[in-house]
């Protein structure tokens, strides 16, 4: 019994220590971004993606584009941009976070997973703040951004976060070993933006194109989000189980890859 109690105390101490390390890494990350204070975090994780979304919405509306589905052009594109930007920024900033903070892992108390989780928590917070800010801006502009099904919209947002987390972990490990991957992934993001249904309705495409595009998990996240706004949307393409399987597999694969090449990462 005393031995089991000592083990429990030891495990508690380890978890407490790791929690403190992650919290310290989060504070360091917030303070070292751009302006050397919390404004850098607000700029990179909230303001920048928010401006990105607003600029694209302005471009789409100023070009006079009609909504491919529904009556509101702004609503259609916003429901596609939110899950895409959530995934995009998470998967890139988690990658960049490990590359920039790599010198810290020379300290025995700091693990690679600590750096990843610290950046992940910050990106999740930033994504939530960005979405809430967009909601308020659209409400002020008299655009009804309230989903028809709040629960499904929340699930779609959460799935986008999990997918971004999984891809971010994988990208971080690859980019730490091969820095050139960051440039390669930027090109992948561009291709995903074009093919993920932000600007079109997948159900309206020919069956062959719809079939191959359905394998894109980011497209599935966007379809899930829009299904929470439009009744019957995505009935031919949406596969929630497929998206969640992708998210789970990328997270598991990311941590497995980290464990497999940990020695190389630590050795530089």
- How much of the chain, in percent, has pLDDT values that exceed 90? 35
Question: H-type helices in 48-149, by residue range?
Answer: 48-62, 73-100, 112-140
Q: Which two tokens stand for residue 139?
A: 């409400």
Mean pLDDT of 175-179: 83
- pLDDT at position 37, please? 62
> In whole numbers, what is the pLDDT of the chain averaged over residues?
84
CA distance 263 to 180: 20
Is residue 1 over pLDDT 60? no
- pLDDT at position 34, please? 58
- pLDDT at position 44, please? 66
70 vs 135, more confident: 135
Mean pLDDT of 2-24: 68
Under 8 Å between Cβ of 157 and 227: no
CA distance 185 to 92: 8
- pLDDT at position 38, please? 63
24 vs 225, more confident: 225
Q: pLDDT category, 157, cuts 50, 70, 90?
A: very high
3-class SS at 231? coil
Is residue 108 over pLDDT 70? yes
pTM higher than 0.75: yes
- pLDDT at position 261, please? 76
- pLDDT at position 166, please? 95
- pLDDT at position 111, please? 84
Mean pLDDT of 182-190: 90
Element (H, E) at 175: helix 150-177
Sign of CA dihedral 153, 165, 128, 137: negative
Mean pLDDT of 234-244: 92
Give buried/exposed letters for 29-43 (b at 16+ CB in 10 A, else e): bbeebeeeeeebbbe
Mean pLDDT of 106-127: 86
Is residue 14 over pLDDT 80? no
**How many CB atoms are located within 10 Å of the residue 71 CB?**
8
What angle do the packed helices 181-195 and 73-100 form, to 10 degrees? Answer: 170
Domain limits of the chain?
A: 2-267
């Amino acid at each position: 019994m005393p031995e089991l109690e000592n083990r429990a105390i030891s495990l508690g101490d380890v978890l407490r220590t790791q929690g403190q390390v992650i919290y310290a890494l989060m504070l360091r990350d917030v303070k070292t971004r751009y302006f050397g204070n919390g404004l850098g975090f607000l700029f990179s994780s909230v303001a920048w993606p928010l401006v990105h979304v607003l600029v694209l919405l302005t471009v789409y509306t100023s070009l006079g584009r009609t909504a491919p589905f529904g009556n509101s052009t702004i609503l259609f594109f916003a429901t596609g941009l939110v899950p895409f930007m959530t995934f995009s920024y998470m998967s890139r900033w988690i990658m960049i976070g490990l590359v920039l903070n790599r010198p810290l892992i020379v300290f025995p108390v700091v693990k690679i997973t600590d750096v990843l989780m610290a950046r992940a928590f910050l990106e999740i917070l930033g994504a939530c703040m960005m979405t809430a800010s967009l909601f308020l801006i659209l409400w002020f502009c008299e655009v009804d951004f309230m989903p028809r099904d709040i629960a499904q919209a929340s699930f779609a947002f959460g799935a986008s976060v999990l997918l971004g987390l999984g891809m971010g972990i994988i990208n971080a490990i690859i980019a730490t070993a091969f820095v050139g991957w960051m440039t390669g992934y930027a090109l992948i993001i561009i291709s995903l933006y074009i093919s993920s249904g932000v600007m079109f309705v997948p159900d309206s495409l020919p069956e062959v194109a719809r079939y191959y595009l359905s394998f894109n998990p980011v497209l599935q996240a966007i379809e899930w989000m829009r299904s929470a706004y439009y009744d019957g949307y995505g009935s031919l393409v949406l596969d929630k189980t497929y998206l969640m399987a992708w998210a789970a597999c990328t997270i598991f694969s990311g941590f497995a890859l980290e464990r497999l090449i940990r020695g190389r990462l630590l050795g530089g």
